[in-house]
Amino acid sequence: MQDTSFPSYRGQMEYVCLNCGARRSGESLLYTCDACGGVFLLENTDFQQLKATSGQEWRDIFDRRATTAKTALRGIFRYYELLAPVFDEEDIVFLGEGLTPIIEASPSLAAKIGLPFAYKNDGQNPSASFKDRGMACAFSFLKWLCRRNNWDEVLTVCASTGDTSAAAALYASYVGAPLKSVVLLPHGKVTPQQLSQPLGSGAVVLELPGVFDDCMKVVEILAEQYRVALLNSKNSWRILGQESYALEVAQWYGWDVSDQCLFVPVGNAGNITAIMAGFLKMYDLGIIKRLPRVFGVQSEHADPVWRYYSAPKGNRHWAPVTVRPSVAQAAMIGNPVSFPRVQKLAERFIELGGERAFQVVRVTEQQIMDAMILANRNGHISCTQGGECLAGLQNALKIGLIGGNEHAVLDATAHSLKFSGFQQMYFENSFPPAYDVVADASLANEPVLLLPPNAREGKDIQTFAKMGADAVASKLGLLKKK
Ligand SMILES: *Cc1c(COP(=O)(O)O)cnc(C)c1O
Ligand SMILES: [Zn+2]
């Protein structure tokens, strides 16, 4: 049976500071705590009310919505009550985000790795990364706020390693007035494909020398001192939208994730925060009976979260790191703003799921590239961060963190096409030394020009086609039909 009604339930969203516990109304644009500077998470203070509905009933509701034709419920807001249940139907922006496919590893790839696993292709979102999940929620919130306050112009700003700006610019240009998008990028540190996206959406694109962490600082000052809407993951509404990833994984596996191990690349740490938060909500409501295991993955070249968790408990110290060039460029962040969120949620995850429920593994740049190339040669569409996840799975297997009857779900956070430049460098073995990547020449691939560039000139199509066919047949050693 189709469920076509928009939910009538409305909650109350409040910002909760993870550092000092201060609470602020969700009806405002806030990013950091005015009392202490800490980061927020949004909490639905009427969450308890949702417990009047049983886990089974929730599962049935979400399963029924799977077939809805109602636009507002077709994407991440299939899970409306669990995300941001304050918007009205007219506020919700849907551009086709969410419900990305989970694709089981090809038989050849699974055999090579030695454990069954799947990729969740979040690159199949509208701007080709998972960031769309968060933006759909952040922009629905902005529409809701503008409507309630009669605001006639809101300038949205974000710093970005590429994909946040692509998503922000896309949603802003779709919604249109009163929203306008400005993005701030580290010059030369996003791929040409990523840069083309906000340009194509008509956003104002500003660049600064430096890396992402530098741009983030600039944007923080802007958000503190000027009237702008910040769209980085300090914006807690984005985290809510990104929780949909966890809900989709659970629903796909029939609401039983007890044998699942999720691998998530960690940059600013918003994604892993959201994924843990989503599972914890489902657990609280009895929608899932057991938590899955969550593995954060970081590169040696940007590994502050790994460094923290690799120290023994009781002797852990948080320290940002200076990043080195990384092929997992979207996660090349040395001072993740969501680290306090990870800390808080990981603690809860371990409390409920045991020590093995949350872990962080580290990989080399070489492993990331080798893994991405391998995955894509076996029919996948993984970006470098998806390669990072596969490398993380390989290392987790090697050191015995995972095995037996377990199954892994790797987050391919963006589409491979956004990062084709790294593939090219691999095929040409032309990585600058700072990346620490040497290509495996046996995996190189390049186009083969069969005839001289001027071979087409002055020939009729029949003559040319015959030459072309002869050249193909000779190159491939084709046998003539009898
Ligand atoms: C943003 C991004 C990441 C890192 O996610 P965080 O939430 O910053 O940890 C990883 N991969 C891709 C493709 C991204 O765009
Ligand atoms: Zn505070």
Per domain, the residue ranges of the chain are 102-126+239-435
- What spacing in Å lies between the alpha carbon of 79 and ligand 1's midpoint? 22
The Cα-based distances of 119 to 74, 124, 342, 372, 412 in angstroms read 22, 12, 23, 12, 6
What is the mean predicted confidence (pLDDT) over 9-33?
96
Is the beta carbon of 414 within 6 A of some atom in ligand 1? yes
- What spacing in Å lies between the alpha carbon of 442 and ligand 1's midpoint? 30
Q: For the segment 459-469, what is each residue's pLDDT rounded down to a tens digit?
A: 999 999 999 99
227: pLDDT confidence band, cut at 50, 70 and 90? Answer: confident
Rounded CA-CA distance 118/129 in Å is 17
In this structure, the residue with its CA closest to atom 1 of ligand 1 is 330
Mean pLDDT of the chain: 96
Nearest CA to 467 out of 456, 478, 477, 476 is that of 456
Phi-psi region of 477 (alpha: psi -120 to 50; beta: other; left: phi over 0): left
What is the mean predicted confidence (pLDDT) over 310-317?
95
What is the mean predicted confidence (pLDDT) over 107-122?
97
Is the beta carbon of 385 within 6 A of some atom in ligand 1? yes
State which ligand 1 atom lies nearest to the alpha carbon of 131: 15
Rounded CA-CA distance 294/276 in Å is 8
Residue 144 sits at the vertex; the CA angle it makes with 141 and 147, to the nearest 5 degrees, is 150
In this structure, the residue with its CA closest to atom 2 of ligand 1 is 330
What is the mean predicted confidence (pLDDT) over 181-189?
93
Residue 57 has pLDDT above 60, yes or no: yes
- What spacing in Å lies between the alpha carbon of 419 and ligand 1's midpoint? 13
Is the beta carbon of 271 within 6 A of some atom in ligand 1? yes
- What spacing in Å lies between the alpha carbon of 463 and ligand 1's midpoint? 52
Ligand located closest to 40 CA: 2
123: pLDDT confidence band, cut at 50, 70 and 90? Answer: very high
- What spacing in Å lies between the alpha carbon of 264 and ligand 2's midpoint? 28
Is the beta carbon of 266 within 6 A of some atom in ligand 1? yes
Q: Which residues pair with 415 in a beta bridge?
A: 382
Residue 1 has pLDDT above 60, yes or no: no
Total Cβ atoms within 10 A of residue 73: 22
Residue 5: what pLDDT? 87
Tell me which of 282 and 3 has the higher pLDDT.
282
**Percentage of the chain modeled with pLDDT above 70:** 99
Is the beta carbon of 299 within 6 A of some atom in ligand 1? no
Q: Which residues pair with 432 in a beta bridge?
A: none
In this structure, the residue with its CA closest to atom 15 of ligand 1 is 163
State which ligand 1 atom lies nearest to the alpha carbon of 418: 13
Q: For the segment 333-373, what is each residue's pLDDT rounded down to a tens digit?
A: 999 999 999 999 999 999 999 999 999 999 999 999 999 99
State which ligand 1 atom lies nearest to the alpha carbon of 414: 13
167: pLDDT confidence band, cut at 50, 70 and 90? Answer: very high
**Is pTM beyond 0.75 here?**
yes
Tokens found for residue 166:
């692509």
Residue 150 has pLDDT above 90, yes or no: yes
Residue 224: what pLDDT? 85
Rounded CA-CA distance 262/221 in Å is 35
In this structure, the residue with its CA closest to atom 5 of ligand 1 is 267
List of residues 6+ apart from 361 with CB closer than 8 A:
295, 296, 297, 298, 306, 392, 395, 396, 399, 401
Residue 129 has pLDDT above 70, yes or no: yes
Rounded CA-CA distance 292/3 in Å is 29
CATH for the stretch 102-126+239-435: 3.40.50.1100
Residue 4: what pLDDT? 66
3: pLDDT confidence band, cut at 50, 70 and 90? Answer: low
Residue 2: what pLDDT? 54
The Cα-based distances of 65 to 62, 79, 198, 475 in angstroms read 5, 9, 32, 54
Nearest CA to 328 out of 422, 254, 263, 259 is that of 422
Is the beta carbon of 268 within 6 A of some atom in ligand 1? yes
Tokens found for residue 164:
């946040």
Tokens found for residue 134:
């968060």
List of residues 6+ apart from 24 with CB closer than 8 A:
14, 15, 17, 30, 33, 34, 40
State which ligand 1 atom lies nearest to the alpha carbon of 266: 9
**Percentage of the chain modeled with pLDDT above 90:** 94
What is the mean predicted confidence (pLDDT) over 193-203?
96
Q: For the segment 216-226, what is each residue's pLDDT rounded down to a tens digit?
A: 999 989 988 88
Residue 161: what pLDDT? 86
Residue 75: what pLDDT? 97
7 preceded by a cis bond (ω within 30 of 0): no
- Counting beta carbons within 10 angstroms of the beta carbon of residue 238, is it exposed (0 to 12), middle (13 to 18) or buried (19 or more)? buried
